[in-house]
Amino acid sequence: MAAFLGRSWNWAARSLALTFAVLAGISLIVGTPANAALSPRLRHALHLRHLEHLAYARYLRARPWEVEIPAIGVAVNLATLGDPDGPSLPVPPLARAATEAGWYRFTSVPGSVGNSVIVGHVDTYVGPAVFYNLYQLRPGDAIYVTTGAAKERFAVRWVHEVTKVRFPVNQIFGGTGRHQLWLITCGGAFDYQTGHYLDNIIVSAVWQPTVKHLTRHRATRRVQHAARRIGKIT
């Protein structure tokens, strides 16, 4: 599992860096100019939004993250995994392989725009791990990810088994305008010489927003649109 990206990671890192650079440029372009003459009402709305984001971030850090997949009986903690270490990505420790999956912190927070990636072991030398039955998921099956303050729902789109040499790095770690979730584990034949499986099981799932999410999203878009208009006028 630790080497499932192999040689492709360097190329993926360049794609990720480009994506982050583009996003940073966009934030500078659409941001409200410092000298823009904001109306008191709009200034108050932006201030409240800022306070909401700060409170949300504190709440996220204070509460545990979890992933639930009722169709295959998964309900485990979700650890935060760090950045790539050379040609491979970190994975949850084997000691917690049956009770913990991992989310890569350099991918999107589940429920936000972009690719969010969660990985878990398929098994260990002592038995099945968290994603042992991941291959049994079917389109439409629900996946729930609790990110501290909210419980986000996703629906499975498809489940594929691919060889590790054909792992779709750009599709999973590249940029996207969708709210996309990926679940990944090992699969296929086991190579006893290397101690690794030869394939990966990949689950693609799409976010299922609630009415509350949609209402908040529309409100945010209205505030952002108003701020951009003020910036252009001034």
Distance between CA atoms of residues 175 and 81, nearest Å: 19
pLDDT single digits (tens) 145-189: 998 768 999 999 999 999 999 999 999 999 999 999 999 999 999
Distance between CA atoms of residues 172 and 169, nearest Å: 5
Query: Of 78, 163, 166, nearest to 117 (Cα)?
Result: 78
Q: What pLDDT is stored for residue 100 in this prediction?
A: 96
pLDDT single digits (tens) 184-231: 999 999 999 988 999 999 999 999 987 666 565 555 566 666 666 665
The correct answer on CATH 3.40.50.720 for the domain covering 6-233 is no
Q: Measured at the alpha carbon of residue 165, what is the angle toward residues 161 and 166, in degrees to the nearest 5?
A: 55
Distance between CA atoms of residues 101 and 118, nearest Å: 7
pLDDT single digits (tens) 130-147: 999 999 999 999 999 998
Distance between CA atoms of residues 1 and 167, nearest Å: 12
Q: What pLDDT is stored for residue 48 in this prediction?
A: 72
Neighbours of 101 (CB within 10 A): 29
Show me where the domains of the chain are located. 6-233
